[in-house]
Structure 1
Amino acid sequence: MARNLDIALIRTFLAVAERRNMTAAGNALHLTQSAVSQQIARLEQAFGRELFSRDRRGLKLTPAGERLQGKARHLLGLNDEIWADMTTRRVDGPVRLGVPFDLAGPLIAPILKGFAGAFPQVEISLLCAASPDLTQALARGEIDLALVETPLGVTEGECLAIDRLVWVGARGGVAHLKTPLPVSMVAETCAFRPAVLAALQGQSRDWRTVFENGSIDATTATVATDLAVTAWLAFTVPPHLDILPAEAGLPPLPSFAINLHLPAGDAAPATLELARHIREGLSRTRLVA
């Protein structure tokens, strides 16, 4: 007559075999030491063999336990593989993500790496542009979801994080002392530009534009060589550049929200799954504000 193995007992046996301690195995399985002991006793009773013996260093596998261990690992791995295959929703197809220039590296790169590893069948396309341009691209159906930076309190999307906008300059640089103030804003449509210009106008500070060609690398190089200052979210500032303190004499800047925008209609499973990964990724990001 066929006999059926209890997978829960096999899982407990492997936990004890790997740790050689029932209390440690119980902690890993969220079971009491007593429950682990009872499950091992049930398994030994079912096989009619002792699986563990005890010596001065703790529990030790018996010859029967050693024979069981390898096959138990294979059985448990196959069980978990079948469970995942039968219960995980298949996610495939293309997904187009829009991201502001400054978030593409420090924020999105590790999130996309994890997403691609979990869903290798999804084809990811990345569009980097200024936040206003991304909002328009989403409305035209050119992308499937977007991260958009807006002044705090001005958004129609899902606010995932808030960070302060800061002045950034070269290490030991003097660009912030120049008149007119040389400012590099990456792109003319940059979401930060109106806030930066309003702050400078409020201080009656003369300024001039340096390098607005849509390249975050060009702006970084311009600032690093002390040709200009820029304004970025604090957590995106590269370590080789400085966040300028209040003593630098530049006007304070407002905080900005990082918002997730999804299409108005029903989104594809790949889009919704990528949105979930972005939410979780941002929740693990330590922002300065």
Structure 2
Amino acid sequence: MIRNLDLDLLRSFAAVADLGSISAAARKVGRSQSAVSLQMDRLAESLGFQVLERRGRAVSPTPRGGAFLEDARRLLDLNDRVLTQHVHGAFAQPLRLGFVQDVGEDVMKRILYRLAASFPQAPITVRVCTTVTMLDKLKAEDLDIAVGLRNESDLPTTLLLREPMVWIAARHLRLDREAPVPLVLFENPCICRSAAISALNAAGRAFRIAFTSPSLPGLMAAVGAGIGVTVRSPRALRPDLAVVADLDRASLPDMEFVLYGRPGSRPPALAKVEEILLEELRREHPLYAVA
């Protein structure tokens, strides 16, 4: 007997896996917490194995559930692509998107893949720039939607993700406690630059600007070479880099990724764009996802 998977169950399962919480997933899919719990029981019964397990206060896929999750995502992407091509397929206006470099290559690749599949007739233009630049471009209506870091603005905003800022340096770098901290920073204006300087001033720690760059690859190349210390989110860590414990007294604020819209009316297709951005950004580092 041929059985069919219930896509509503798969969508709730993916939401739980992304957010690490039944209650957070319930808010995302618009159901009650008990309803999503029942959905997970039905999915496990349908598949013949448990898809979720509790680890402390968080919920995560079992080993078999994790393997099934990737196939579930492919089924959902195919379903969404078929529907959006019929609903939004005729949308041929350019989609103009902005991203800060901290979003990361892998996340941006997934976002662009899904957008190209959902809007096959719409030219997609992407501008990777600073948050300040993208806010100016949104106000000038040169961008439709953008993902940046939290900044003062009167534009429509949605909080996507909150992550801690951390001090990052090459693993081989050793700081002299008696010497000024060598900083590797973006050029002004930069939220992480301001946070680093404010934190060191508050801790009474001397510093010097050892390297500046307008690009994240240039910045991280200097950090990897041991030129100095930078401040980014944990997603910037690589095997050759580490969090600097010597600076734990210079406490840093959280970094907030925000979805910015432009003022005035917008094409209906942007609702689907927002959904894709929300899902892909929140899929990263679920422990710090917005509740």
Using the size of structure 2 for normalisation, the TM-score is 0.64
The aligned runs of 1:187-206 (5 Å cut-off) are 187-206=187-206
Superposed structure 1 runs of 4+ greater than 6 Å apart: none
Instruction: Determine the structure 2 residue equivalent to 1:227.
Output: 227
Contact 1:175 1:226 in 2 (8 A): no
Secondary structure at the aligned position of 1:182 is classed as strand
Instruction: Determine the structure 1 residue equivalent to 2:236.
Output: 236
Identify if the C-alpha distance between structure 1 residues 191 and 287 changes in structure 2 by more than 3 Å, giving closer, same or farther.
farther
CA-CA distance at 1:85 after TM superposition = 8.7
CA-CA distance at 1:27 after TM superposition = 5.8
Identify if the C-alpha distance between structure 1 residues 205 and 248 changes in structure 2 by more than 3 Å, giving closer, same or farther.
closer
CA-CA distance at 1:167 after TM superposition = 0.7
Secondary structure at the aligned position of 2:150 is classed as strand
Secondary structure at the aligned position of 1:93 is classed as coil
**Residue deviations 1:31-75 (CA, integer Å, cap 9, x gap):** xxxxxxxxxxxxxxxxxxxxxxxxxxxxxxxxxxxxxxxxxxxxx
Where structure 2 has 5 or more consecutive residues not aligned to the other structure, the ranges are 8-78
Instruction: Determine the structure 1 residue equivalent to 2:179.
Output: 179
Identify if the C-alpha distance between structure 1 residues 86 and 182 changes in structure 2 by more than 3 Å, giving closer, same or farther.
closer
Structure 2 CA distance for aligned equivalents of residues 86 and 125 of structure 1: 19
Identify if the C-alpha distance between structure 1 residues 130 and 279 changes in structure 2 by more than 3 Å, giving closer, same or farther.
same
CA-CA distance at 1:163 after TM superposition = 0.6
Structure 2 CA distance for aligned equivalents of residues 29 and 278 of structure 1: 24
Instruction: Determine the structure 1 residue equivalent to 2:272.
Output: 273
Q: Does residue 26 in structure 1 map to residue 11 in structure 2?
A: no
Letter matched to residue 225 of structure 1: A
Contact 2:156 2:262 in 1 (8 A): no
**Residue deviations 1:107-142 (CA, integer Å, cap 9, x gap):** 323211222233232212221222122212211222
CA-CA distance at 1:198 after TM superposition = 0.9
Q: Does residue 259 in structure 1 map to residue 258 in structure 2?
A: yes
Q: Calculate percent identity across the aligned residue pairs.
A: 23
Identify if the C-alpha distance between structure 1 residues 223 and 29 changes in structure 2 by more than 3 Å, giving closer, same or farther.
closer
Instruction: Determine the structure 1 residue equivalent to 2:136.
Output: 136
Contact 2:101 2:216 in 1 (8 A): yes
Contact 2:175 2:181 in 1 (8 A): yes
Letter matched to residue 286 of structure 1: H
Identify if the C-alpha distance between structure 1 residues 29 and 167 changes in structure 2 by more than 3 Å, giving closer, same or farther.
closer
Contact 2:165 2:231 in 1 (8 A): yes
Instruction: Determine the structure 1 residue equivalent to 2:87.
Output: 88
- Tell me the C-alpha RMSD between the 2 structures: 2.9
Structure 2 CA distance for aligned equivalents of residues 97 and 151 of structure 1: 18
Aligned residues: 213
Contact 1:176 1:229 in 2 (8 A): no
Using the size of structure 1 for normalisation, the TM-score is 0.65
Q: Does residue 282 in structure 1 map to residue 259 in structure 2?
A: no
Secondary structure at the aligned position of 1:127 is classed as strand
Identify if the C-alpha distance between structure 1 residues 98 and 176 changes in structure 2 by more than 3 Å, giving closer, same or farther.
farther
Structure 2 CA distance for aligned equivalents of residues 96 and 120 of structure 1: 14
Letter matched to residue 26 of structure 1: R
Contact 1:200 1:206 in 2 (8 A): yes
Structure 1 CA distance for aligned equivalents of residues 110 and 228 of structure 2: 29
Identify if the C-alpha distance between structure 1 residues 208 and 279 changes in structure 2 by more than 3 Å, giving closer, same or farther.
same
Instruction: Determine the structure 2 residue equivalent to 1:214.
Output: 214
CA-CA distance at 1:286 after TM superposition = 2.1
Where structure 1 has 5 or more consecutive residues not aligned to the other structure, the ranges are 1-21, 31-79
Return 105-114 or 93-102, whichever deviates more: 105-114
Secondary structure at the aligned position of 2:213 is classed as coil
